[in-house]
Amino acid sequence: MTTSSPWRATVLTLFPEMFPGPLGVSLAGRALASGVWELEARDIRASATDRHRSVDDTPAGGGPGMVLRADVLAAAIDAAEIGQDSSKERPRLLMSPRGRPLTQARVVELTQGPGPLIVCGRFEGIDQRVIDGRGLEEVSIGDYVLSGGEIAALALIDACVRLLPGVMGKEASGTEESFSDGLLEYPQYTRPQLFEGVPIPEILTSGDHAKVAAWRRAESEALTAARRPDLSAQIPVKAPNRAGRQKTPKNKTDG
């Protein structure tokens, strides 16, 4: 009988000591310790060949900063793939502010394979020839610039790991969250029933599951329309909630 290998993230970085970092605690940390997933942080500098172990050089054509060398990074990627099962092709990602923005849909896809190889850039970025030659998919975690790809890689891995079977206490909690159906999540409440004079919306304590579901859907739609019209435009209209919803959820006390 063959057992399948756990989902695995291989990270290429100049700072392997940044891993597992926050992924070593809580849900992800427990799952890592129990073998639900694996993490391999590889030092790009180990593939440097000159006596100074240099990994970067000045940009061709001039300009500020330094660029990660193609020969060093390509050798690091090739070394990371030695001994990998070639029948299970892994996505090769490059964390990059120029990349396609990471979405929950892409995160779900990434959990369905063997797990990605992730390159963390530094300096001004990496030589384009290694992006093209090694088929790296550029992935951004938002329209801002970090000093390196490591924090972006940690965010991407965290988003994947929490969806792996057995990581979240209740598997269903991954299916009702923001973005899972193209909407932002509805507001959540818990005890105490009355907080600073504000009660939990009555409908949530009514015990009527159909009404609760309809209320949550309407709240999700209103919140998405108010905050993320870009997402809202992509949601298929579902009668009657979308048409019937008039208010934005400013007043959390409404029922």
- Binding of residue 140 to ligand SAM (CB under 6 A): yes
- Binding of residue 125 to ligand SAM (CB under 6 A): yes
- Binding of residue 141 to ligand SAM (CB under 6 A): yes
- Binding of residue 96 to ligand SAM (CB under 6 A): yes
Q: Nearest approach, Cβ of 56 to ligand SAM (angstroms)?
A: 11
Q: Which residues contact 105 (CB under 8 A, 6 or more apart)?
A: 179
| Angstrom distance (rounded) from CA 155 to CA 139 | 12
Q: Which residues contact 78 (CB under 8 A, 6 or more apart)?
A: none
Q: Which residues contact 194 (CB under 8 A, 6 or more apart)?
A: none
Q: Tell me which stretch binds ligand SAM (CB under 6 A): 70-78, 92-100, 108-116, 210-218.
A: 92-100
> Which two three-digit tokens encode residue 43?
């030092």
Q: Nearest approach, Cβ of 159 to ligand SAM (angstroms)?
A: 13
- Binding of residue 167 to ligand SAM (CB under 6 A): no
Cβ atoms of 121 and 146 within 8 Å: the answer is no
Options 69, 92, 122, 216; binder of ligand SAM; rule CB under 6 A: 122
Q: Rank residues 55 and 167 by Cβ distance to ligand SAM and give the closer one.
A: 55
As separate numbers, helices (DSSP H) first and strands (DSSP E) second, the chain gives 8, 9
- Binding of residue 251 to ligand SAM (CB under 6 A): no
